[in-house]
């Protein structure tokens, strides 16, 4: 069963979280509940139980996100259900998770770590379709020119810049 929960009033607006028994399956910075339900349904093949209370993994992730936005948490420990992702996306996003708080790297550097130096565009696509932003910190990945390129959440690149500023990144 997939349950959902919502964190209100963060610096980037409301955040939705969904998890099943295995781990987190989705995080959304869009405030549209139906859009989130549709995204979760597409990702896991079943609609979340919106009548159920948030499960323990959702509750824990919401608490971690709240602590993150208060500047008290620099590394997320909520489990992720990696099985909802394709193999390349899993590999790329697992590497994205290793980029420390307040630091950045490039799509090309992730591609090189994967042993596929020509795959920076594919890494960019994996980041663009990251179903669990912030917790999988795709905002820490920059273009080869050191600039911000795309962010698929509400606010776009400005939200990406805001998250990096909040983390104390020297780049923005």
In the Cβ-directed half-sphere of 97, how many Cα atoms lie within 13 Å? 17
Catalytic option among 12, 24, 138, 164: 138
120-128 vs 87-96: helix crossing angle, rounded to 10: 90
Show Cβ contacts of residue 108 under 8 Å, excluding neighbours closer than 6 positions.
Answer: 117, 120, 123, 144
Euclidean distance between CA atoms 137 and 132, whole angstroms: 8
138 classed as catalytic = yes
Phi/psi for 6 (5° steps) reads: -135, 135
What sign for the dihedral angle of Cα 93, 94, 95, 100? positive
Contact, 16 vs 4, CB < 8 A?
yes
Residues involved in catalysis: 138
């Amino acid at each position: 069963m997939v349950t959902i929960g919502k964190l209100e009033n963060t610096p980037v607006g409301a955040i939705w979280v969904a998890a099943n028994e295995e781990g987190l399956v989705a995080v959304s910075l869009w405030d549209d509940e139906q859009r989130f339900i549709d995204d979760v349904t597409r990702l896991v093949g079943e609609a979340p139980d919106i009548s159920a209370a948030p499960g323990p993994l959702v509750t824990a992730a919401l608490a971690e996100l709240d602590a993150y936005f208060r500047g008290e948490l620099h590394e997320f420990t909520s489990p992720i259900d990696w099985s909802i992702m394709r193999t390349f996306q899993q590999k790329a996003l697992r590497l994205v998770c290793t980029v420390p708080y307040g630091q950045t790297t490039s799509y090309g550097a992730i591609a090189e770590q994967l042993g596929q130096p020509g795959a920076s565009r594919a890494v960019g696509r994996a980041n663009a379709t990251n179903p669990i932003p912030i917790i999988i910190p795709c905002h820490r990945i920059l273009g080869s020119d050191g600039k911000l390129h795309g962010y698929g959440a509400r606010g776009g690149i400005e939200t990406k810049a805001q998250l990096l500023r909040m983390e104390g990144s020297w780049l923005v």
